[in-house]
Structure 1
Amino acid sequence: MTTPEPTPAPNEATGEEAPYRRTIKSYVLRAGRMGPGQTRAFEQFGPRFLLAYDANRKLNPADLFGRDAPLIMEIGFGMGGATAAIAQTRPDDNFLCCEVHEPGVGALLKLCGEQNIENIRIFRHDAVEVLDNMLPEQSLDGVHVFFPDPWHKSRHHKRRLIQAPFVNRLAGHLKPGGYIHLATDWEPYAEQMLEVLSAEPMLANTAEAGGSGYAEKPDYRPLTKFENRGIKLGHGVWDLVFKRV
């Protein structure tokens, strides 16, 4: 596996960058306030849908979901609305979802519990550690990363999630024929995503040869309220779908 470049951690008090850490993280932790409904969802639905991270245990998806089915990993689901919609659109697939922000986890727990969405399980933990320690290679049928933080400023581009070492790690966890689906509404980030994915030898672009390299939005990915508003303002959204060769 490729050795990751070190990633700086900002000092929240001073705004200065702390010493480098030689690890990849799939998130930047930000403060968020839990609403009463989200808090209740942790208590009421957490035992049913939340998974405990354990670096010494490999997951058995059939045990987690009570069935054998294609396993899709979603990294950073925000408030979970799109995740819930996709899981309901694709009931024959299992969805393993990672998010570190408590309000988002609480919101998805609430949706799963109230709408009886049985094909979702959730880690409130860093997806990279879940990949490294709890999932064997070639265990995933798909990976979704929708609208990751674009880190607009040039000096912050190194904090972007979609970098060569992370993509290499994702590709190694895909079964042959499995896919990575990324989406962003920031064109410079879309260009970087396309460059990074195209350079990974384990992946092949599913977009039509000779075109832009970007895919048509798959039907299963719903338009978010934010995305709909952006489209009305003339903003673009770029989807990329690559498969493990």
Structure 2
Amino acid sequence: MIRRPPRLGDRPVGPPRYAARMTDDHSQVSSDSTIRPLAFHAAPGTEDWRVLGEGACAFFRTGSFADGARLVAAIAAAVEGLGSPDVDVRPEGVTVRLIAAGEEYYGLTERHIELARRISAAARALGAAAEPHALQTVQVTVDALERPAVVAFWRALLGYRDRAGSPEDLIDPARRGAPFYFQQMDEPRPQRNRVHVDVWVPHDVAAQRVAAALAAGGRLVTDADAPTLWVLADPEGNEACVGAAGAPS
């Protein structure tokens, strides 16, 4: 049995259409309207961004680590009072992620649209070009017959916590490591791997990534859920999924 990986923001908990607004330490302080990936992509001013498995992300190319540090300072000034994104700085560029990761909701809110606009404007002012096609996130999926017992083991081993409203997902509380998704199985699947990788890429490059994997010797297992999900296998049968959030229908 193959199931679609959980999509970002599909399971808000609490009052409909509301999520926790996050402070600098990502704790809950007030409410904010939730949105789906497609709505985020459709909003003007979000062209630099792509919703992946773990939030809305953007990559801005910089010429050096020092240039990246200056961009981070500009981002901090631009979003002051509105929220704090997750930022990764490397010599080649800066990756920014927007996500509400509270106790009752894990996903995107309308506030993230304004954050994205401000961050993109700060990058443009410094001449840092966005490269949406350079983005991706990775999720590890584990097949489980007794899911609660399996989740408990991995929660303790990794030091992860449950994702809000989703007993089948574990996330790194520091938002650094890859999330784990535990797929409920009805019966054992002999001769098939029980752990596989889900690669989340921008919706407008997903088909290209699938084609590249097939050209490199992969095999298409199913594209029944394309353009949201493709299941592939390597030459020895090890499976992997390519996922795309917010793809136009």
The structure with more strand, counted as a fraction of residues: 2
The structure with more helix, counted as a fraction of residues: 1
- TM-score relative to the length of structure 1: 0.27
- TM-score relative to the length of structure 2: 0.27
